[in-house]
Amino acid sequence: MMKLYNGKIILLGLAVFVGIVTFPFWFNMGKAAPAPVLKLDTPVIAKMPVKQCVRPTAFMKAGHMQLLNQWRDTVVRDNNRVAPDQAGVMREMSLSNTCMECHSNKTEFCDKCHNYVSVAPYCWNCHIQPKENS
């Protein structure tokens, strides 16, 4: 009888101990880092009849940095400044003039997502960061 009682105390103690030790992990579950809500409507995007990026959205989410590198290389090495977007519209391959023309709300769009994943592109040391317009 006594033995069983002690066993229960030990199990309870153990459960409390495990709970405390793992507290930081389960306490943060689901609430540590709510995904940022990105603001996609800007004056230019609002006027688009079909709201789409230069490449499919899924690609842009994961691959916009590669696309920017590719644009840079094409401009700087091949001196070719225009290319068709996914809809076939010819666009200047430009960070400031093209991406930021549509996404004119850098702080509410690019920065919000970058802060969430802790990246800080250094591009703005040289490239003009256009005036915010959202």
| For ligand HEC, the closer CB: 16 or 38 | 38
Sorted by sequence, the CB contacts under 8 Å of residue 15 that are 6+ apart come out as: none
| For ligand HEC, the closer CB: 4 or 118 | 118
Q: Cβ of residue 114: shortest distance to ligand HEC, in angstroms?
A: 6
CB-based burial, 106-124: b 16+ in 10 Å, e otherwise:
bebbbeeeeeeeeeeeeee
Q: Cβ of residue 66: shortest distance to ligand HEC, in angstroms?
A: 9
* Binding stretches for ligand HEC (CB under 6 A): 38, 40, 45, 51-54, 57, 60-61, 64-65, 67-68, 71-72, 75-76, 93-99, 102-103, 109-110, 113-114, 117, 119, 121-123, 125-127
| For ligand HEC, the closer CB: 20 or 76 | 76
Sorted by sequence, the CB contacts under 8 Å of residue 84 that are 6+ apart come out as: 90, 91
| For ligand HEC, the closer CB: 40 or 134 | 40
CA distance 16 to 19: 5
Tokens linked to 100: 């930021």
